[in-house]
Amino acid sequence: MILNEILKIILYGTLVILFVSVNALFLVWMERRVSARIQLRRGPIHVGWQGLLQTVADAIKLLTKELVTPSHADKFLYWLAPVLVFAPAVAAFLILPLADHVVIRDLNIGFLFVFSLTNVSFIGIFIAGWSSNSKYALLGSMRAVAQNISYEIPLLLSTMGVVMMSETLKLSGIVSAQATTWFVFPQFLAFVIFIISALAEANRAPFDIPEAESELVAGFHTEYSGMRFALFFLGEYTAVFISSAIAAALFLGGWREPAVPWISLANLGPLWYLLKTYAIVFVVMWIRWTFPRLRSDQLMALAWKVLIPLALLNVFFTALMMQVFEK
């Protein structure tokens, strides 16, 4: 039994790491091509067919770069930070339901597990700026602290409506509860709030103030080079993917096919899930290249004065509607 478990852990672990790497490679390529198209240009097209090997070249280059440690940095924390940022994002793949009863570990706390782990990621960001012993990095970290704490609340509050309607925290249960209609229709406001908060949690523009390129040189990862920087990069893209995957599971019906009569490919569960996730990722990238950046105090005003009241209202309204329709 124990051997069985250990073999399963190794197998799933390897699969997840492989998937994360290939996915990150693909996502970075997608970002560069999507942004290029929005910006009237082509993007990487020469390295491999249509530039698909561009990220591979980037990865090899980053792997073979010199690792520089600033002279007065706190060495242990400086080493630890990128690991803390990247590892939890990988662990979040445990609970994603790929098809009916196909999931690595169907935890009964479901997506709360993911969000607790992303908080560990955020501690990594904080440690990165602190241990670098550089003013720019510290400014970036302080902004990250304020931002991530503020956006945790609307992120979780917006999912409460969904949880109430499906009466379980398990992701597989939530997907099953969307047999008749996807939750994006009754919970549209929650969907919007969730996407905005997820953007802020992943430090993506227009909320990328901790790594604001034009203001803070490179924010909290100013002093990181080579593979350590690559881990931050990977962590950010994986966080975007995870948030989109959870949004797809919570609101867009996960692996369920759309309920229209002429589509009846019920066995393509994982493919539908991937498609929905990438659709949300595409919208996230689209948003990045369209809007200017919010200033840190405006960002927090948005969270506390707009998103949290709206999310609370949504919870209240959902509860009311459930009472009314139960009778």
With CB under 8 A as the contact rule, the residue among 27, 58, 81, 159 that binds other proteins is 58
Q: Nearer to other proteins by C-beta: 46 or 327?
A: 46
Size of the site for other proteins (CB under 8 A): 59
For position 46 contacting other proteins by CB under 8 A, the verdict is: yes
With CB under 8 A as the contact rule, the residue among 209, 247, 284, 300 that binds other proteins is 209
Contact between residue 111 and residue 118 where contact means Cβ atoms under 8 Å apart: no
Q: Nearer to other proteins by C-beta: 222 or 277?
A: 222
287's enclosing H/E stretch is helix 269-288
With CB under 8 A as the contact rule, the residue among 20, 27, 29, 44 that binds other proteins is 44
34/240 Cα distance (integer angstroms): 15
Contact between residue 144 and residue 129 where contact means Cβ atoms under 8 Å apart: yes
Q: Which of residues 105-124 bind other proteins (CB under 8 A)?
A: none
With CB under 8 A as the contact rule, the residue among 120, 293, 317, 319 that binds other proteins is 293
316/313 Cα distance (integer angstroms): 5
With CB under 8 A as the contact rule, the residue among 87, 94, 164, 218 that binds other proteins is 218
- Taking the complex as a whole, the smallest distance from the CB of residue 177 to other proteins amounts, in Å, to 36
139/144 Cα distance (integer angstroms): 9
For position 222 contacting other proteins by CB under 8 A, the verdict is: yes
- Taking the complex as a whole, the smallest distance from the CB of residue 208 to other proteins amounts, in Å, to 7
For position 64 contacting other proteins by CB under 8 A, the verdict is: yes
- Taking the complex as a whole, the smallest distance from the CB of residue 35 to other proteins amounts, in Å, to 7
With CB under 8 A as the contact rule, the residue among 6, 60, 275, 320 that binds other proteins is 60
229/242 Cα distance (integer angstroms): 20
303 secondary structure, DSSP code: I
Q: Nearer to other proteins by C-beta: 175 or 285?
A: 285
Contact between residue 89 and residue 118 where contact means Cβ atoms under 8 Å apart: yes
For position 295 contacting other proteins by CB under 8 A, the verdict is: yes
CA nearest neighbour of 72 among 125, 126, 133: 133
With CB under 8 A as the contact rule, the residue among 56, 179, 263, 306 that binds other proteins is 56
Contact between residue 119 and residue 45 where contact means Cβ atoms under 8 Å apart: no
DSSP structure string for 66-87:
PPP--TTS-HHHHHHHHHHHHH
Cα torsion 69, 75, 78, 83: sign:
positive
Report the DSSP beta bridge partners of residue 102: 99
Q: Which of residues 143-202 bind other proteins (CB under 8 A)?
A: 143
With the CA atoms of 186, 190, 196 and 202 taken in that order, what torsion angle do they form, in degrees rounded to the nearest 10?
Answer: -110
Q: Nearer to other proteins by C-beta: 61 or 105?
A: 61
Q: Which residues bind other proteins (CB under 8 A)?
A: 32, 35-36, 38-47, 54, 56-61, 64-68, 135-136, 139, 142-143, 205-206, 208-209, 212-218, 221-226, 229, 288-298
